[in-house]
Amino acid sequence: MFRFLHSADLHLGKPFGAMPDELRGRLREARHTVLDRLAAQARAAGAETILLAGDVFDTETPSPAVQRQALAAMAGHDGLRWILLPGNHDSLAAEALWAGLATSRPGNVILATEPAPFPLADDVVLLPAPCTTRRPGRDLTEWMDMAATSPGTVRIGLAHGPVQSFSEDGGASDVIAPDRATRAGLDYLALGDWHGQMRIGPRTWYSGAPEPDRFKHDAAGRALLITIPAAGAAPAIEPVETGSFDWRTLALDCLAGEEPGAHLAALLPIGPARRQTLLRILATGRTRPPARARLEADLKAIAPEFALLQLEAQELVTECESEDLDQIDRAGALRQAAETLLAESRDEGRSSSEREVAREALMRLFSYCAAAA
């Protein structure tokens, strides 16, 4: 039996430049401390080996602080073995990085920089496929088919890159064959690159990022605990939680005449979890100006409780009816201006941006008149 923790895409040193300053520091810190959380999960499960399938570092030139502190954190977990594979973000093209790691690595950190069998235990061999450049342009796992091992040896593949269309960057020429595990007789193929956890086959998984860094995948940070009973036997695969921040997208489908904020409250996390939550509310459907204004006010009120709270309402159509216009004025020039803007916002002959501007101008007029009242 061989047990190990499979993770990838730590992206240490990711800057999060678009985030508010205070949150940036916390997000970067969470990326660093995920090493400790991985170690804790490994220890808890009795695994001694942690395979990191690429993109440990966010760039080819992480700052010395990021490198050294990461190595120090790994060294601090005595009795655990960290195996680092070059990914597309930190490929072998980053010679300085890998040369630096080679000289300063502690004893329990192993760099899988050669596509050659590496013994993990007496009857366990690791077949790594390090990324040679940012875009190798070929399937780097191909060599595994030919790699000979003595019979009865557990063969574990380690690779980084897209499988068919599952790509973070979107190309298709250099994909990893999804059936590589079968072709190369692997007991397990540990993949990195896709930040969401995903099963490709019974023996092939993307572990996902242990600490999420974007809204795309809408899931908590996780790693995989793999147990291989023996060569050829089906591996046991168990997801484990490792994330610190929760990146969530909340779809809010509004109906005209409904209060959009009404069922929002039920969907929001409660209590201190909010501090660790980056929430994106994706509003769609239709609403009326007062309801829209209330929704915005509600969100503004609770926003400080969250690490981040964004309302994306480009898809939310705010419609005006004549009774809405009555709130501006029943008649007269003010009403006339409102009607003009309303007509403009509905005029199919105009560009969508013009219509949008007219609609927003009308919303603004609402708010002015509401404030005056």
Binding residues (CB under 8 A) for another protein: these are 13-19, 58-64, 66, 93-97, 100, 329-337, 339-341, 357-358, 360-362, 364-365, 368-369, 371-372
CB of 23 to another protein, least distance (A): 12
Q: Is the CB of 61 or the CB of 227 nearer to another protein?
A: 61
CB of 339 to another protein, least distance (A): 5
Q: Is the CB of 124 or the CB of 338 nearer to another protein?
A: 338
Taking the mean position of all CA atoms in its chain, how far away is CA 267? 21
CB of 20 to another protein, least distance (A): 10
Q: Is the CB of 15 or the CB of 171 nearer to another protein?
A: 15
The edge-to-edge listing of strands for the beta sheet with 124-129 is: 118-121, 124-129, 154-160, 188-192, 204-206, 198-201
Q: Is the CB of 230 or the CB of 370 nearer to another protein?
A: 370
Q: Is the CB of 40 or the CB of 99 nearer to another protein?
A: 99
CB of 338 to another protein, least distance (A): 8
Q: Is the CB of 123 or the CB of 324 nearer to another protein?
A: 324
CB of 229 to another protein, least distance (A): 42
CB of 313 to another protein, least distance (A): 13
Residue of 167, 125, 210 lying closest to 178 (CA atoms): 167
B/e letters for 78-88, b = 16+ CB within 10 Å, e = fewer, are: eebbbbbbbbb
CB of 342 to another protein, least distance (A): 10
The edge-to-edge listing of strands for the beta sheet with 81-84 is: 109-111, 81-84, 49-52, 2-7, 222-228, 236-241
CA 109 – CA 250 distance, rounded (Å) = 40
CB of 96 to another protein, least distance (A): 4
Q: Is the CB of 104 or the CB of 336 nearer to another protein?
A: 336
CA 109 – CA 101 distance, rounded (Å) = 9
Q: Is the CB of 148 or the CB of 333 nearer to another protein?
A: 333
